[in-house]
Every structure is written in C-alpha cells, then in structure tokens.
C-alpha cells in the first residue's frame, strides 16, 4: 500500500524501500560480492513478506530463505521466480507441493533425504536440496561427526540435485567468537568429504547476519543475511559496524487527550498514578497489535519530537502516554519505533526494555497493523 492512503488505520508500519536497497548493497559489498540469500521468513521480520521479496528481487538478490512451505508458496503465488530455500524440517506429506512449486528443500538426515528422493521420483520432478549439518546449534541437521553418512547418501539419490550444504551458528552474535569459529572448523572439516573423493563441493553457506558482520572467514560461497537487511543489529554484543539504515517505522496517532487530577489512577490494575495533575493521550495500539505488554510503565514514545513515557498497563488495543509539560492534539503523530524531529527510538531499545530481542519485537507486529511502502 502507498503511504498517501489516508483510509488506513492510523497505527501503521512504514517500510523505507530505499533503506532496504541501501542495506543490501552494503552487505553485498561487505561480503566481497558473494551471492546473497535474503532471509524473509516470519513476514520478512515483520516488514511484509511479499513486498520485501518483490523489492529485493528487483534489486537482483540471488535467492531467498524462508522457514515454511507456506511462506515459499506465498512467494511463488506472488510471482517471485528466484530460488527459495525452505529452512525447516519438511513433513513428507508436504514434499510433492514443494517440488511442484520449485522450492528447494532442506535435507537434515539420511531418512529425510530418502523421503525427498522418493517424492521426487513419484512426482516425476527433480528435487533441489541443501544438506544440513549441525555443527553446534543442536536444532536440526546431521551431527558434524556423522556428516559423511548424509553426504554419502546424497550420492546415491537419483532424483535429487544437491544445490548446497549448510550449517547455522549458535553464537556468532557474541563478543567471544570462540564457539562460532569451532562450528566453522567442524563444518569445513565435514566438507573435506568432497575433496577426498575428488568431487566438486556444492555451494557452502553458514554466514548468518552476525557472522556476515563479525566473521569474514565464514562467508564462503554465499551469505544469508536476515535481520541486518532491515537495519537492525543481531544482538547487543554485535554492533552494526556498517552504516545500515533501519527500514521500519511504527507509528500511530493521538485519538484522545485528557487532563487527570492528582491521584487519579490510569489503566488496568490502576498501575500508574501521579501526585500532580497530568496531561495524557490515548494511542490506538496495544499488545493485540504486537506492542508488548511488558513495555507497560517502562517504554517511551515520541510525540512532537519529545519522549513521552507510557502511563499504565498497555491494553489489547490502546495505551496511554503522559505528556508532562508538553501538549498534543487529536491526530498528532506518535512514533513507537523510528525517528521524529531528530529524536529516535530504535527497536533494539524496545527489546531491551521488554526483556527480549529485537527479532521478537519485529516479528510480533501482526497482520492487523497495515504496512505501507515508500
């Protein structure tokens, strides 16, 4: 949707497409021009799956990464033609659908690889798979010390093309990169399988957002940026060393203004009260939109370029903010995430105040918050 559509709900997420373009170019250059798999799972980290993927396809991104069959199908139905890798473990019943839409599958075990091979044979299609090696994450993938069993099995499959082999870091966003380097060492050791047999190695990839920033030796043949594409740091110990730009602004508008007398409680549980008369506004956004209830009485929003504290518990559909000595009128802009008149609230700040991570804040902004693109 275009930003000039004033019929939309006043609580909106605005996505800066120029920031997305800028971030991709910076990350691609930082990776030495290597192919980029743009990770757009979880509604493109809250930014809008289809719109972000269409934009990045127009920017020449090499491929996409998603978590689920449904995300991949949504992209294909939207006309996305670039390769799409589904990261998650795939139930056998979904395999024919994945193959019919030309989606690339993750094979994390010999049994799963054989299921994929059988599904491809039954449908008369050739499956493109990425073999998954667990080097220390403990999630899915053949254990690195048993990786040869999966790599060997892939050579016996007659209806499978191995498009890649990959792993995933558990601690690449840490200040101490010792475990990440150990994972990389395990991954590269497992891949000597191909050299020992005189075979070409499939595309190797392990570098997520944090490793792309902090561990250049992990860039290998392809990089998989996720949250950094959107201008957000992977974690507090992994600063953004590049001038990336946040693409998302979350804003709303004042819908009610009131002056409360001293001692008048505010909100559920009467959890906020002032010992002096207070000027407050009501904002039509709440935890039903994904604005965390954990931010009650501890976060701030921007109104008129000033930081105004949340007053009381965040409701499902609304919250209140105290203006202090400031003023506001119905219809005035309220910024939850983003910048206003030179003052900024980053999503990382909200995550810290809510006791969570930026990923959760972004991916929790739900579908009833309209996205607009400019």
Active site residues: 41, 268
Cβ pair 315, 268 in contact under 8 A: yes
Cβ pair 244, 20 in contact under 8 A: no
Counting Cα atoms < 13 Å in the Cβ hemisphere of 6 gives 1
Other beta carbons within 10 angstroms of residue 200's beta carbon come to 6
- Give the whole-angstrom CA distance, residue 161 versus residue 154: 8
Name the phi and psi angles at 43, rounded to 5. Answer: 60, 40
Q: Name residue 259's beta-bridge partners.
A: 279
β-pairing, 306-309 vs 300-303, is antiparallel
- Total residues belonging to the chain: 374
Q: In the block, which residue shows the tokens 């060997």?
A: 152
Residue whose C-alpha is closest to residue 122's, from 156, 87, 97, 103: 97
SS3 category, 58: helix
- Give the whole-angstrom CA distance, residue 99 versus residue 12: 36
- Give the whole-angstrom CA distance, residue 11 versus residue 291: 11
Counting Cα atoms < 13 Å in the Cβ hemisphere of 166 gives 28
Cβ pair 163, 104 in contact under 8 A: yes
Cβ pair 208, 201 in contact under 8 A: no
Other beta carbons within 10 angstroms of residue 316's beta carbon come to 12
Other beta carbons within 10 angstroms of residue 88's beta carbon come to 17
- Give the whole-angstrom CA distance, residue 12 versus residue 7: 11
């Amino acid at each position: 949707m275009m930003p000039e559509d004033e019929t939309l709900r006043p609580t909106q997420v605005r996505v800066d497409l120029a920031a997305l373009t800028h971030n991709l170019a910076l990350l691609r250059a930082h990776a030495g021009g290597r192919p980029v798999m743009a990770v757009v799972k979880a509604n493109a980290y809250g930014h809008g799956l289809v719109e972000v993927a269409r934009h990045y396809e127009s920017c020449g991104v090499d491929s996409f990464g998603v978590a689920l069959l449904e995300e991949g199908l949504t992209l294909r139905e939207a006309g996305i033609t670039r390769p799409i890798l589904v990261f998650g473990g795939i139930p056998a019943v979904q395999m024919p659908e994945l193959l019919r839409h030309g989606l690339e599958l993750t094979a994390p075990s010999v049994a799963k690889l054989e299921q994929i091979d059988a599904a491809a044979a039954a449908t008369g299609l050739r499956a493109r798979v990425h073999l998954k090696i667990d080097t220390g994450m403990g999630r899915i993938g053949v254990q690195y010390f048993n990786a040869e069993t999966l790599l060997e099995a892939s050579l016996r499959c007659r209806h499978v093309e191995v498009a890649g082999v990959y792993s995933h870091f558990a601690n690449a966003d840490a200040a101490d990169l010792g475990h990440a380097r150990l994972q990389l060492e395990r991954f590269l050791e497992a891949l000597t399988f191909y050299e020992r047999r005189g075979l070409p190695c499939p595309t190797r990839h392990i570098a997520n957002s944090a490793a792309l920033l902090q561990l250049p030796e992990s860039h290998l043949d392809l990089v998989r940026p996720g949250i950094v594409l959107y201008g957000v740091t992977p974690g507090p110990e992994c600063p953004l060393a590049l001038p990336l730009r946040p693409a998302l602004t979350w804003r709303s508008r004042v819908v009610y203004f009131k002056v409360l007398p001293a001692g008048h409680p505010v909100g559920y549980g009467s959890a906020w009260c002032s010992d002096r008369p207070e000027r407050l506004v009501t904002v039509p956004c709440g935890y039903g939109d994904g604005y965390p209830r954990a931010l009650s009485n501890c976060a701030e929003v921007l109104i008129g370029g000033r930081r105004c504290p949340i007053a009381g518990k965040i409701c499902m559909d609304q919250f209140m903010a105290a203006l202090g000595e400031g003023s506001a009128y119905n219809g005035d802009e309220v910024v939850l995430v983003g910048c206003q008149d030179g003052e900024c609230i980053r999503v990382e700040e909200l995550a810290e105040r809510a006791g969570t991570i930026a990923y959760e804040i972004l991916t929790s902004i739900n579908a009833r918050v309209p996205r607009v693109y400019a």
